[in-house]
Amino acid sequence: MSRLNVAIIGQGRSGRNIHGTYFRSANNTHYNVVAVVDAIEERRIRAREEYGCDVYEDYRELFGRKDIDLAVNSTYSYMHAPVSIDLLDHGFNVVCEKPFAKSYADGKHVVDTAKRSGKLLNVFQQSRFAPYYREIKRVLESGVLGEIAQINIRFSGFARRWDWQTSDIYAGGNVRNTGPHPLDQALDLLGFPENVNVFSKLGRYNTSGDAEDYAKIILTVPGKPLIDIEISSCDCYAPYTYKIMAQNGSLRATTGEIEYKYLIRSELPDRPRILDPLCKEDRTPAYCSEKLDWHEVKTEVEAGAFNKAVVDYYEMIYLALTQNRPMEITPEQVLLQLKLIDEIHAQNPME
């Protein structure tokens, strides 16, 4: 199969340690990195050594090149929208890091530019392909848990932070930095509805900046399970990424292990409602009590969203560019996420 030529814009933690790690790995059979852009000279020097490619200080130096099939926008978060728009206007297909944009209006401008230019645009929401998430979706779709009442998603831990991701003017904070992962998964589980009700609370506790490092987000949609999202830098005890409560049982999961237990309704005795006081055999008061026969499953999965998930994400991009395959992740889906993020920040004006 033919390889596509890639330019990576930015060699920070995402550009080098996530995208670059994939492009330099044996898992990459589809792409050649032919250009890297970074404003810091030592990063350009390292990129030339690591990729054997051309290097540039400014992404606009790419505009004269006709051999680049895909540009990966791994700039600062606040630059994602304007740089993506500029790239699309100059004829580049674009993969943009999350957050897609600082606001819904900015994101809509990027999407409109892609439609006008006829170029591919996608957002790096690779956690949709994370093995743990795919297995959770499989269990839910199997129906063994019955009707789902509530889904808790925790992307939390305890940490202090003092880099640019703590600054609001850089589009930092937990909601825009970490939030796109659980928000994308939550919207996917809800079917990307337009009528999402959101309640949220943000706070600052262990950050050196002016953006939030604590977020509680509750999403409700009529006829759908409640989704409770927590993105906290104040949680020393965060054992589970997912906990699901359902009609027939429950599921809990980390990024590396999933376990669930469920009942089979046909195996249960009927329990018609009794309005008279319940009593034990000795006629003393009793409480509803029965022994339940649980079916229990425990599954280990490949951990994280930065290995196989990245491979699967770039497989999707490759097939879209070379075979015009539809993409499982679309910019329009991510625009719904930006609407929620706008509403979350509107509910919590920070000083």
At 183-195, the pLDDT tens digits run 999 999 999 999 9
Sorting pLDDT into bands at 50, 70 and 90, what band is 326?
very high
Chain centre distance of CA 38: 25
The pLDDT of residue 239 is 87
> Hey, how many other C-beta atoms are within 10 angstroms of the C-beta on 8?
26
- Inter-CA distances, 134 with 155, 252, 302, Å: 17, 14, 11
Please write the tens of the pLDDT for every residue from 107-156. 999 999 999 999 999 999 999 999 999 999 999 999 999 999 999 999 99
**Residue 338: enclosing H or E segment and its boundaries?**
helix 331-347
Average pLDDT (207-225) is 94
- Inter-CA distances, 93 with 60, 63, 109, 119, 123, Å: 15, 12, 16, 5, 12
Answering whether pTM is above 0.85, one says: yes
Please write the tens of the pLDDT for every residue from 146-176. 999 999 999 999 999 998 788 888 888 899 9
> What are the structural domains of the chain?
4-123 (3.40.50.720), 128-307+336-347 (3.30.360.10)
CA atoms within 13 A on the CB side of 164: 10
Sorting pLDDT into bands at 50, 70 and 90, what band is 177?
very high
The pLDDT of residue 350 is 78
The pLDDT of residue 307 is 85
* Strand partners of residue 32: 5
314: Cβ–Cβ under 8 A, 6 or more apart, which residues? 22, 28, 30, 31
Output b/e per residue, 134-154; b: 16+ Cβ within 10 A.
ebbeebbeeebbeebeebbbb
225: Cβ–Cβ under 8 A, 6 or more apart, which residues? 148, 149, 150, 151, 189
21: Cβ–Cβ under 8 A, 6 or more apart, which residues? 306, 310
The pLDDT of residue 1 is 60
